[in-house]
Structure 1
């Protein structure tokens, strides 16, 4: 008899659902001198997108002890720039389709819960989500995923994490759930492929057929 437990789809937010790249690049460039790392020129952005998250941090030369404060500042600055941010084209319909198909939708993000809720409400999709889990961390997303799974009493075998960065793939693997990478966010497809996600999506519209993706895993 088939398992009819709902499949949980856990999304990263920035770069996966919301198009925040230009805003985040602008913010990080504004903070570059203060935190002691080089600003990113538009010509250099493609090279940066080919790197893993850890490679970017290593090349920047920023002290790991400054990272928590930097992340907090970025989150604060994002709050002041919410009017310049929206969902990627096609994401809203994909979310509506997934919820209609019976999936349980969640978000795990390094952004603040307030920022995420505000943007989702503006787009009319906040009520589609069963929960939003936020944490001020770059490489600890697996802990947030684990907390979500425990609190929501989810089955890891029926959970997927969808993100746009190499660290999202790594987080899913550490949490022992399936990973789906998207190519319309920060990291390039070449960088994502190197981290071997279970599936790569090329356009937001493909999220609406993620059921077929999951069935391949069973």
Structure 2
């Protein structure tokens, strides 16, 4: 039987980084020319796609790559204090024990992800980590990984917490599990019609079994 591959997003899916990222974004607001995010606005932003958030913020699209680079650099100092999403460690260990091949595709830096996994004793679970700067989606990175690792589409699933994860997976023609414990709301994710929509990490085990 062909080994199944489960690819995870990092921020908001494995690592509980949403609050840290909002804090960093607010600290950089003046420098990059957008209004800091209030608690009420965060609730609103959770219902928006990446494109809608950029439009809402008013930030110049030309500044986005520089902002992303700065956010990654600022997050590096917070890595030792960040923790995994509650329950995700157990789910990852169980998937690994059941013989699934695990990987990560993220717009965060490989350095940040590797350090987080090491600090939280999760590094041994993942076969690969791929990083790339993406604003609106990860389709190119996903396709590159599929090609480089010679993975068949029907053997791969992607797990992510944002609408752009769903869009990218669909464009890459792979199954996608959307999770509601990260950034985007249940409502926003549901509108994009993922193959599966789950609310707790422990649900991953049963959903992946359906994939078999």
**TM-score, normalized by length of structure 2?**
0.97
Partner of 2:146: 149
Partner of 2:22: 25
Task: Map residues 205-216 of structure 1 onto 2, 5 A cutoff.
Answer: 205-215=202-212
CA RMSD across the alignment: 1.0
Unaligned runs of 5+ in 1: none
**2:79–2:116 CA contact under 8 A, matched in 1:** yes
> Deviation of residue 173 (structure 1)?
0.9
Partner of 2:48: 51
> Deviation of residue 36 (structure 1)?
1.1
> Deviation of residue 49 (structure 1)?
0.5
> 1 CA distance for matches of 2:167 and 2:44?
21
Partner of 1:88: 85
Distance verdict in 2 for CA 1:68–1:100, change over 3 Å? same
Asked if residue 127 in structure 1 is aligned to residue 129 in structure 2, the reply is no
Partner of 1:76: 73
Question: What is the aligned length?
Answer: 212
> 2 CA distance for matches of 1:211 and 1:75?
31
Partner of 1:116: 113
Where in structure 1 do 4 or more consecutive aligned residues deviate above 2 Å? 208-213
**TM-score, normalized by length of structure 1?**
0.94
SS of corresponding position for 2:61: coil
Partner of 1:35: 32
SS of corresponding position for 1:162: strand
Partner of 2:174: 177
Distance verdict in 2 for CA 1:32–1:129, change over 3 Å? same
**1:35–1:66 CA contact under 8 A, matched in 2:** yes
One of 95, 99, 103 as aligned partner of 1:102: 99
Task: Map residues 3-22 of structure 1 onto 2, 5 A cutoff.
Answer: 4-22=1-19
**1:8–1:160 CA contact under 8 A, matched in 2:** yes
Unaligned runs of 5+ in 2: none
